[in-house]
């Protein structure tokens, strides 16, 4: 396999769909996306580009099998390019960024997802800037899977979609941007070097469900459903530090039944910050029932990591060790 020895960086642009390349009312994927480099010719000044259409979907239709396909596309081309840009709809971009972070562990090259709030064909589009910025950071040499959007490069595994109306669609609560792209491109100091060996594990098992805890949580009903289902993992978005109702609806009892039925249960918080299941009895109930604390994981990181864990590790002990490990920074610093 050839590594790039010429002065100009080589960047592979993988199109997967999203608003950036859509047209019409309602907005739908359009063949326009095939002409990305003609529509935004300035990106050719930054790198030698190759564009491939991997699929062309509203990102609401992108899921585990697409993540596997996309990861395989990057893996097979990893020696031929210095960086990768993934054009993606914003709705599930953070899930795909997390999935690629787990699937292409320690790839050591930039994998940069971007998209737009307004189509490239629209006058006030943000697509042009986001694309240019994404190609720019894809030439940085950083070993990061990131989301580049509205002048920020965010660590993909810490990022969530937080706004549908503003051009600033993403944030990474508790994780500083990797770079700010203003007049100058300013990278945060101390980017950790990638020293570990590359691990390609592209499989994800979709038998995972996320549950958002709310007052009146139907513990009994859900316990029966879970016991009869083929589900393998649950992500429980709890209150605050990881508390849940334990009187009236008893979420602790629900988790105990789920764990008893062979499911792994990962607890994240609906707030920003880090789960601590020891501070309150209403958190301890989850720990005593066999749940695993998910640190600062976003819901996107927790769901994709659980799907990855279920696909990789048939033994409960190995799965739980993987869920507890800070694989690529998803638990927080
Ligand atoms: N529904 C679109 C998508 O996620 C929204 C977007 O791209 O901004 O594909």
Give the model's pLDDT for residue 39.
Answer: 84
Which atom of ligand 1 is found nearest the CA of 116?
8
Q: How would DSSP label each residue in 235-284?
A: EEEEBTTTB---SSS-HHHHHHHHHHTT-EEEEEESSSS---TTSSHHHH
Whether 19 is a known active-site residue: answer: yes
> How many A from CA of 27 to the centre of ligand 1?
9
> How many A from CA of 85 to the centre of ligand 1?
17
Q: How far apart are CA 265 and CA 293, in angstroms?
A: 9
Q: How far apart are CA 221 and CA 304, in angstroms?
A: 25
For ligand 1, which residues put their CB under 6 angstroms from it?
Answer: 17-19, 58-60, 89-91, 115, 117
Nearest CA-CA partner of 292 in 315, 268, 313, 314: 268
Q: What is the mean pLDDT of residues 157-185?
A: 96
State the average pLDDT for the chain: 94
> How many A from CA of 10 to the centre of ligand 1?
27
Beta bridge partners of residue 333, listed in sequence order: none
pLDDT (tens digit per residue) in 81-96: 999 999 999 999 999 9
pLDDT (tens digit per residue) in 298-309: 999 999 999 999
Q: How far apart are CA 183 and CA 185, in angstroms?
A: 7
Question: By the 8 A CB rule, do 266 and 234 touch?
Answer: yes
Q: How far does Cα 56 stand from its chain's mean position?
A: 19
Q: Which domains does the chain have, with CATH numbers?
A: 10-200 (3.40.50.1170), 208-324 (3.40.50.40)
The predicted model scores a pTM of 0.95
Give the model's pLDDT for residue 207.
Answer: 98
Which atom of ligand 1 is found nearest the CA of 60?
4
Exactly one of 19, 92, 96, 304 is catalytic; which is it? 19
């Amino acid at each position: 396999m050839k590594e790039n020895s010429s002065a100009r960086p080589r960047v592979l642009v993988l199109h997967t769909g999203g608003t950036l390349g859509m047209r019409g009312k309602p907005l739908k994927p359009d063949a326009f996306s095939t002409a990305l480099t003609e529509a935004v010719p300035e990106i050719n000044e930054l790198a030698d580009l190759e564009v491939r259409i991997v699929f062309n979907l509203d990102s609401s239709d992108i899921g585990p099998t697409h993540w596997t396909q996309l990861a395989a596309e990057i893996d097979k081309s990893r020696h031929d390019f210095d960086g990768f840009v993934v054009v993606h709809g914003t709705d599930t971009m953070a899930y795909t960024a997390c999935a690629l972070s787990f699937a292409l562990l320690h790839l050591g090259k930039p994998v940069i997802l971007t998209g737009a709030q307004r189509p490239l064909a629209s006058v006030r589009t943000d697509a042009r800037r986001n694309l240019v910025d994404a190609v720019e950071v894809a030439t940085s040499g950083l070993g990061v899977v990131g989301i580049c959007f509205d002048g920020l490069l965010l660590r993909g595994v810490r990022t969530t979609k937080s706004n549908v109306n503003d051009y600033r669609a993403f944030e990474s609560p508790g994780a500083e941007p990797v770079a700010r792209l203003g007049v100058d491109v300013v990278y945060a100091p101390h980017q950790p070097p990638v020293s570990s060996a590359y691990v390609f594990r592209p499989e994800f098992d979709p038998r995972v469900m996320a549950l958002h805890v709310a007052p009146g949580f139907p513990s009994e009903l859900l316990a029966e459903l879970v016991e009869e289902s083929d589900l393998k993992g649950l992500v429980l978005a709890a209150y605050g530090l990881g508390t849940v109702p334990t009187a009236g609806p008893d979420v602790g009892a629900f988790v105990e039944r789920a764990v008893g039925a062979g499911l792994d249960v990962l607890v994240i918080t609906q707030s920003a910050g880090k789960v601590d299941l020891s501070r309150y009895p209403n958190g301890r109930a989850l720990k005593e029932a066999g749940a695993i604390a998910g640190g600062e994981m976003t819901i996107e990181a927790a769901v994709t990591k659980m799907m990855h864990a279920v696909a990789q590790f048939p033994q409960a002990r190995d799965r739980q060790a993987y869920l507890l490990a800070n694989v690529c920074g998803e638990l927080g610093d």
